[in-house]
Amino acid sequence: MKFIIKIKTAVILTTIFITFVMLFSISYADENVISAAGSPININASSAIVMDMETGRVLFEKNAYVKRPIASTTKIMTAILAIENGNLDDEVTVSERACQIWGSDIGLKPGEKLKLRDLLYGLMLNSGNDAAIAIAEHIGGSLENFLDMMNEKARLIGAKNSSFKSPHGLDMEGHYSTAYDLALITRYALANPVFSEIVSTKTASIPGRNLYNTNEMLGLYPGADGVKTGYTGQAGRCLVTSATRNGWRIISVVLNCPTKSARTQNSIKILDYAFNNYKMYTLTEAGETVGYLPVNKGIEESVPIVTTDKIVYPLTQEEAKRVKTKILLLDDIDAPVFGGVDAGYVIFTLDGKVIAETKLKVSKDVAKKDFNYYFQKTIDEVRKFFKSLFSGLPGILFTHIYSCTPRM
């Protein structure tokens, strides 16, 4: 049966402003994260950023949108493309071209055959430039085609200020990205469990080789679980890190640090800043009732309206006090109503800027008052009437019969 949503007024949606800070009770996703007073951070990276994995919110940034060489952090894009477009058990034949590349390598030989999975570990742990070429040629059919794939993927992810001229990141004119774009690419890649597993691995063995991850943050920083180091003369010391504490994962990027020690300390500083100053707040749970929608000609006068998704968002303690909620809800709805029908939106704002939203939906079915409804209601009323009318009849009849019984 088809249902019709009725909009009565010229204003399609009724806007309800909530005057208190939050319509829903805000609860901490993690009570163990200690909030700290925010203060400027002094780091000597030319560019840096911290991004929340779940929402993509930028928690800290320094020159994050400036285009720079990115060295071997390029391989984050190389790896995720290979994982998405190849079979991990594919056998890859190493070309002469791959073996001629300079810089860090895993000692590949022309004509050597390795599984794509093994090459990916060599790429991301030991930062093998030879593995990067071998992977690119296998996945793209040619190095040039693979570069096209890299740039197209960057565009789709939203990394608009990135340009890839190689799968390894050696200094080359026109090869660049930004700290923000690298965080976006990493956030996308970490959503893939295969990628996430590889970059969190400290050591691995592949045919003829023992691999050791160049990422010094693994085992050093509490919760560190990825992702990639980088260094060239033009790019300086670079490091992309992910860290997870109590289920909350964040990503940091530092570019053009003067020394390896500096990139490590810079990463620790900005990660600490994020973990100490922000908490994941629950703005609403999925299925939480926010109000009731009038139902026209329904067997019930109204129906509960609930949220579709659970929404969490990283906020400082002070920001949490300034979050406001707006509900956009239909005026009413015509019966029959079916559970799950869209009924509006709930929008969360911080200082006037939308930070999150989710659809509202009808929580259950409501039948229409049709002929059968009114007929059944009439029958029920008649039954009640006669039941009330004759409720004392059996006792009266018994008394009458008893009194008329002949005496012996």
The count of other CB atoms within 10 Å of the CB of residue 222 is: 12
- Whether residue 393 is predicted with pLDDT greater than 60 in this model: the reply is no
Q: What CATH number should be reported for the domain whose range is 47-277?
A: 3.40.710.10
Question: What confidence tier does 331 reach under pLDDT thresholds 50, 70, 90?
Answer: confident
User: Looking at 75, 153, 228, 269, which residue is catalytic?
Assistant: 75
HSE-up (13 A, CA, CB side) for residue 31: 1
Inter-residue contact 123 to 79 (CB < 8 Å): yes
Q: What CATH number should be reported for the domain whose range is 13-29+282-362?
A: 2.60.410.10
CATH 2.60.410.10 range(s) for the chain read: 13-29+282-362
Based on the residue annotation, tell me whether 153 is a catalytic residue of this protein. no
Both structure tokens of 282? 């629950």
**What are the DSSP calls for 212-235, one per residue?**
E---TTTTTSTTEEEEEEEEETTT
Based on the residue annotation, tell me whether 127 is a catalytic residue of this protein. yes
User: Looking at 72, 104, 200, 242, which residue is catalytic?
Assistant: 72
Question: What is the rounded CA–CA span in Å between residue 43 and residue 257?
Answer: 9
Question: What confidence tier does 10 reach under pLDDT thresholds 50, 70, 90?
Answer: very low
Among 79, 50, 19, 5, residue whose Cα is nearest residue 183: 50
Residues 6+ apart with CB under 8 A from 276: 33, 34, 35, 36
Q: What is the pLDDT of residue 366?
A: 87
Please give the single-letter amino acid code of residue 210: N
User: Looking at 46, 104, 127, 242, which residue is catalytic?
Assistant: 127
Q: What is the pLDDT of residue 5?
A: 36
Question: What is the rounded CA–CA span in Å between residue 106 and residue 72?
Answer: 14
For the chain, the average pLDDT equals 87
Based on the residue annotation, tell me whether 202 is a catalytic residue of this protein. no
In the chain, the N- to C-terminal Cα span, in Å, equals: 72
- With residue 321 as reference, give the H or E element that holds it: helix 317-322
The count of other CB atoms within 10 Å of the CB of residue 177 is: 28
In angstroms, what CA-CA distances link 88 with 91, 134, 147, 284?
9, 14, 20, 39
Question: What confidence tier does 3 reach under pLDDT thresholds 50, 70, 90?
Answer: very low
> What pTM, to 2 d.p., does this model score?
0.82
Tell me the pLDDT tens digit for each residue of 161-185: 999 999 999 999 999 999 999 999 9
By three-state DSSP, how is residue 393 classified?
helix
Question: What is the rounded CA–CA span in Å between residue 153 and residue 235?
Answer: 22
Q: What is the pLDDT of residue 121?
A: 98
CATH 3.40.710.10 range(s) for the chain read: 47-277
